[in-house]
Amino acid sequence: VSVDARGELRQSEGLLRRDSQFTNRTGNGGTPLKPKALLEVWTLGGALNHSHETPESLRTAEKERHAMSTLTYVWFPMAAVMAILFEAFHLRWAEVDWSLPLDRSDGREGSEKVDSSFRGLTLRLAQRGCHLAWIYFAGAGRVKGRCYLILLVWIHLVGMYLELLTFDFQKRYWNLYQQPSLPLFFELIRNWFILHITRMITYVYEFYVEDIFLLHWRDHLTRYFEAIWVPNTYVFKMKEGGKLDNPDQRIHVDTANFVTQTYSLTFGVMKMLLNLLMYSYMLMSITPTQMHPGSLVAIAFLYSALGSMTIHLMGSKLAHFSWLGERCGGDFRSELRRVYDQCESVASFRSDEAELCRLQHRFERIKLNTWQTMLLEKRLAIVQKWYSPLREILFMCILAPFFITGVVSLGRLKQCEMALDRISDSFSFLVENYSNLSTYRAVVDRLYNFRSSCLAYLKSRKDERDGEDGSESNRKTELAIIERLAPLGIPPKWPPFWGGSSLEVLQIPPSPETDLSLDASIYLPSGDLLMEDVHIQVPRGSGVMICGEEGAGKSTILRAVAGMWPFVKRTDGRNDTQCTGGMADIFFIPQKPGLPSPMSLREAVSFPHSADHFRDEDIRDVLQRVGLEFAPGLDSKIDVNTTLSGGEFQRLMVAHCILAKPSFIFLDESMAHMSRANRLQMYKLLAELVQNGTGLLSTSHCWQELIQFHSEFYVIEVKKLEDGSFKRSLVPFRPSERAEGDLCMQVNEKDKEIERLREEIIRFRKRSKQA
């Protein structure tokens, strides 16, 4: 406020000073402005040359026309022609594939869409933003966060008050030039110091407290999203991977953007409302008496409403582009990450050209989206750049007649203009911040959708424990997480009144001492049936083996029994997503396990427990038993995923089982990288656990080899149907029944081999005779 007003004051002061100097030099007459030589006009510009102006010339319409002659006849046509030519040709240089579809590269456009309606950009956005902000202010930010916020509001209000004081001080300061006085000068200098030191303090602490507050908020929002996502990563990837892209980007980038943008928009709205109240009151009190007191405010409102509507109609797709930009950026980054993670395969397959093509394809989508955003923003800029200057002319047209007829003074006119400007600035919040609001909408939607789907899975796990159902438990689950995080935002040793002492820690209870079972039909993520009527039981203290051909579905059954596979329809009447394994203490070794890196061997063998969870001598003993005496020692950091060989990694997993003694161990062909002798050795070690009550479920192609470690056997039988599809069924069997059939098969195989070798020998003899 003050800066603009001061600018206007100084401009008019400067103008008057120049005019009076000129008048003093040349008297009242002055020479009329002559057209300048072309070179002079081009170099200086007619509009800037005040030396020939007189107060008379300022009032002549003809002079006004001449004042802009260079712009009117040279620069304006040139700019218009250049803009038209540029518009006609520049897209040919764009190097962008306009035909590219802007959906996912795998062709699966998710159901997640950003709501870019007017309501979506205002009311619904505010609702969703408040929901997300509540996570912090009801949890970890309930004490510190609220304190920081109150402090910041206070600093902002003090800042506004100091602005007004400075504005007032400026008037007194400049008056000193007109009425010089030494005591007044000293008082002014004293006040200047006090004012500016106070301003400096508020300025510095506004930024510092703001940074502390935003980091605290971001920290706890990130923890919250990690807490709801990490327990469901597998299910989330299986079910939502197609539509809710790049969860890593949501947790890292979107939370940071949400925090900073919520803050700046909230304070923007606060300042807007304060300005609106203050200046509406001022304007109503200085509106010319010939007009209705509220008429100027109403004009400002109508003008801004018209501007907001136009800008929204033109730019409603901006929120969608912003959301697409985040998705395309995330997809590109994840592809780069994949190349890094799979660098060994890239080098082995010599696939660098193919990888470059894939990367460029992803970047093309970023480019196309950026181009479309740029084109839309250009159109919006045309409206926005018209909007504010047009406003000034409009207000001048309304107020000038009152000034020309002498009803209001120049001072009153300027005051009205300034107040009108501020009010319409406030009303035009949407116009001025349209692109920010669109970006914010995309960020809020991405976080909100992410949160809803993660909570849906958490809910099902908690329902399972509590036997509850419905959206109430969804809310309870979220509250439990927020409560769990709350103490991190409350200073230690605060009285319970201020802190969250009512902690309900979300812990998975110890595994029940029951067997695992699954009675269900299993589906694929596409919705196709994989296997119907699967009945399997894994008793504690015994080993169960599932065998079958490649792709028969062994791993999927293991995942379903462990409660990880979300596409299960239970036939015993329980919830779709409920699996007994979801609650149990299972250590599942997948076909391609991986660990975080870098890690020491001690950390790796203890993971997911902490490195000091097991005793040092136990770790050394168990590593010795599995034959893993690793040269660099227990505590040197390595990338276990690449440093350990496949077989060594599998032995590490067995070592962990022996240390952790889980209730159930699931082995998905987990010894495939070992020699037969070592495999048997590892199973012997695990058999000791089974004798002590651990349940073992393994998969294998060859059940004969591991027969002595299992007591129950299942085989997956695959039949090809007439329509070309496959019917899979899980059938229990007794080894004694299968042995005979398998023996016959083996004899047949050997016979075929002997026949082939015999023919080979005959051919070889013939060739040597001919030679």
Ligand X SMILES: Nc1ncnc2c1ncn2[C@@H]1O[C@H](COP(=O)(O)OP(=O)(O)OP(=O)(O)O)[C@@H](O)[C@H]1O
Interacting residues with ligand X (CB under 6 A): 524-525, 530, 548, 550-556, 591
Contact 368, 102 (CB under 8 A): yes
Considering beta carbons, is residue 121 or 697 the nearer one to ligand X?
A: 697
Strand partners, 719: 727
Considering beta carbons, is residue 420 or 562 the nearer one to ligand X?
A: 562
Q: Rounded to the nearest whole angstrom, what is the least distance from the CB of residue 556 to ligand X in the complex?
A: 3
Considering beta carbons, is residue 493 or 592 the nearer one to ligand X?
A: 592
Neighbour count for residue 90 (Cβ, 10 Å)? 9
Q: Rounded to the nearest whole angstrom, what is the least distance from the CB of residue 534 to ligand X in the complex?
A: 12
Considering beta carbons, is residue 247 or 548 the nearer one to ligand X?
A: 548
Tally the residues of the chain.
771
Q: Rounded to the nearest whole angstrom, what is the least distance from the CB of residue 240 to ligand X in the complex?
A: 13
Considering beta carbons, is residue 324 or 558 the nearer one to ligand X?
A: 558
Q: Rounded to the nearest whole angstrom, what is the least distance from the CB of residue 590 to ligand X in the complex?
A: 10
Q: In angstroms, rounded to a whole number, what is the distance separating the alpha carbons of residues 663 and 587?
A: 8
Give me 35's structure tokens: 């057209």
Q: Rounded to the nearest whole angstrom, what is the least distance from the CB of residue 523 to ligand X in the complex?
A: 10
Q: Pairing state of beta strands 586-589 and 664-668?
A: parallel
Considering beta carbons, is residue 265 or 530 the nearer one to ligand X?
A: 530
Burial of residue 179 (CB within 10 Å: 0-12, 13-18, 19+) is exposed
Helix 123-137 crosses helix 144-178 at what angle (to 10 degrees)?
110
Torsion region of 661: left, alpha or beta (phi above 0 gives left; psi -120 to 50 gives alpha)? left
Considering beta carbons, is residue 249 or 556 the nearer one to ligand X?
A: 556
Q: In angstroms, rounded to a whole number, what is the distance separating the alpha carbons of residues 107 and 243?
A: 11
Kind and range of the H or E element at 402? helix 352-404
Say how many CA atoms lie within 13 Å of 530 toward its Cβ.
24
Q: Rounded to the nearest whole angstrom, what is the least distance from the CB of residue 718 to ligand X in the complex?
A: 10
Give me 400's structure tokens: 């000038």
Q: In angstroms, rounded to a whole number, what is the distance separating the alpha carbons of residues 269 and 42?
A: 45
Which residue number is nearest to ligand X in terms of Cβ?
A: 555
Q: Rounded to the nearest whole angstrom, what is the least distance from the CB of residue 107 to ligand X in the complex?
A: 16
Q: Rounded to the nearest whole angstrom, what is the least distance from the CB of residue 529 to ligand X in the complex?
A: 11
Kind and range of the H or E element at 700? strand 695-700
Q: Rounded to the nearest whole angstrom, what is the least distance from the CB of residue 569 to ligand X in the complex?
A: 16
Instruction: Tokens 């399972």: give the residue.
Output: 464
Considering beta carbons, is residue 484 or 679 the nearer one to ligand X?
A: 679
Q: Rounded to the nearest whole angstrom, what is the least distance from the CB of residue 726 to ligand X in the complex?
A: 8
Q: In angstroms, rounded to a whole number, what is the distance separating the alpha carbons of residues 745 and 748?
A: 5
Considering beta carbons, is residue 229 or 565 the nearer one to ligand X?
A: 565
Considering beta carbons, is residue 338 or 462 the nearer one to ligand X?
A: 338
Q: Rounded to the nearest whole angstrom, what is the least distance from the CB of residue 347 to ligand X in the complex?
A: 25
Contact 441, 322 (CB under 8 A): yes
The set of residues, in sequence order, having a beta carbon less than 8 Å from that of 125 and lying 6+ positions away, is 437, 440, 441, 444
Instruction: Tokens 């004051």: give the residue.
Output: 9
Q: How far is CA 447 from CA 143, 441, 643, in A?
A: 24, 10, 37
Q: In angstroms, rounded to a whole number, what is the distance separating the alpha carbons of residues 450 and 444?
A: 10
Considering beta carbons, is residue 282 or 524 the nearer one to ligand X?
A: 524
